[in-house]
Every structure is written in structure tokens, then in C-alpha cells.
């Protein structure tokens, strides 16, 4: 992948990178925030605040309100620890919390699995086009709906 030079984290390594990034942003890595991040990173498809509240409630053995999860997700998005997938109306853990990109999401319409690519040439040109139209871009949202390789294979079209 041409413009993909950064390191992508996963598992415990991703959690450590997220903790480092949040702490650097002057925020505390509380037990609750750690739980929410672990739950979010455990989903293979975009998760809603309700999905995550459910997972954390199970892990904690007590009821966690979706509202408190929502506030933490909001903080995570602001700190580059999580991304909102708009067309799925849900969140994914950011695989590179230490590196800021306008991630391009690939959302499978069959299984819901969402992966992402980074191509700053594309996203910078979207930002440039917006600026050219007199608009101040904050966050380009580029999401591609379609079929993932696994679902393509399962359908016998590979
Ligand atoms: Zn990315
Ligand atoms: Zn799929």
C-alpha cells in the first residue's frame, strides 16, 4: 500500500499505544477507559456505544450505562484513539493512535467487517478541493461500501 508507512498496532501492543497517546494528551488512562478501549478493540466490526456498554458490563459483572461509554468514545475520537465510521453509525479502534491520518474505511455490506487504508494523497486532495470551494475542512469522511475478500470468496466469485 503506497502511502502506508506507519506501524499498525494490534492486541496488547495497540492498548499500550492508545494509553501512551491518551496520557500524552493530558488525559488519564482510567480503569473504565481501559475497559472501553479493550472492548472496542475486540470487535471485528464497528461497534456502537450500546454494543460496547454490553461487552464492558459482561466483563465487569455490573451494569455500565451506554451514556458513560458514549462520553469515553467521544474523548477517544478527539484523542485519535478511535474513529467513527459514519455509514455504519458506529466506532472502531484506531490501529495507529500515534499517527494522524484521514483513514479511508472499507465497509463490507455482507458481514459488516470494516478495514481501513490510509492514502494521504487522496484525502489531501479532498481537503484541497474543499478549500478551493471556500470551505474549511476539518475531517474528510471517505468510506467505501462493498464486499470484503472473505465474503467474495464465500460467494464463489473470487
Ligand atoms: Zn488510518
Ligand atoms: Zn464481509
CB–CB of 52/39 below 8 Å?
Answer: yes
6 in Cβ contact with 97 (< 8 Å): no
Q: In this structure, what DSSP letter does residue 47 have?
A: B
- Per-residue pLDDT at 157: 52
Ligand 1: distance of its center to the CA of 24 in Å?
20
Task: Give the Å distance between the CA of 54 and the centre of ligand 1.
Answer: 27
Ion ligand 2 residue ranges (Cβ < 5 Å): 108, 110-111, 113, 148, 151
pLDDT reported for residue 65: 95
pLDDT at 2: 41
CA neighbor of 16 nearest in space, from 101, 102, 97: 97
The pairing of strands 114-117 and 142-146 is: unpaired
Flag residues of the chain having pLDDT under 50.
1-3, 158
Phi, psi of 90 (to 5 degrees): -155, 180
Residues 6+ apart with CB under 8 A from 78: none
**Cell numbers standing for residue 20:** 501512551
Under a CB-based contact definition with an 8 Å cutoff, are residues 27 and 36 in contact? no
Summarize pLDDT for 110-137 with one digit per residue, the tens.
999 999 999 999 999 999 999 999 999 9
For 52, residues 6+ apart whose C-beta sits below 8 A from its C-beta are 36, 39, 40, 43, 66, 69, 73, 91
If you write DSSP's letter for every residue of 100-135 in order, what string do you get? ---PEEEEETTT--EEEE--HHHHHHHHHHHHHTT-
- SS3 assignment, position 8: coil
Indicate the pTM of the whole model.
0.87
Centre of ligand 2 from the C-alpha of residue 139, in Å: 26
Cα of 95 vs centre of ligand 1, distance in Å, is 7
Amino acid at each position: 500500500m503506497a502511502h502506508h508507512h506507519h506501524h499498525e498496532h494490534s492486541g496488547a501492543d495497540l492498548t499500550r499505544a492508545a494509553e501512551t497517546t491518551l496520557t500524552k494528551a493530558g488525559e488519564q488512562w482510567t480503569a473504565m477507559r481501559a475497559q472501553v478501549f479493550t472492548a472496542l478493540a475486540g470487535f471485528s466490526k464497528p461497534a456502537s456505544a450500546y454494543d460496547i456498554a454490553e461487552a464492558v458490563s459482561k466483563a465487569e459483572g455490573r451494569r455500565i450505562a451506554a451514556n458513560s461509554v458514549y462520553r469515553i468514545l467521544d474523548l477517544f475520537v478527539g484523542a485519535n484513539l478511535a474513529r467513527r465510521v459514519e455509514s455504519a453509525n458506529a466506532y472502531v479502534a484506531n490501529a495507529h493512535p500515534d499517527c494522524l491520518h484521514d483513514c479511508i474505511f472499507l465497509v463490507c455490506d455482507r458481514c459488516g467487517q470494516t478495514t481501513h487504508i490510509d492514502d494521504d494523497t487522496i484525502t489531501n486532495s479532498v481537503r484541497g478541493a474543499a478549500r478551493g470551494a471556500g470551505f474549511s475542512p476539518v475531517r474528510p469522511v471517505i468510506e467505501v461500501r462493498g464486499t470484503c475478500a472473505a465474503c467474495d470468496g464465500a460467494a464463489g466469485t473470487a
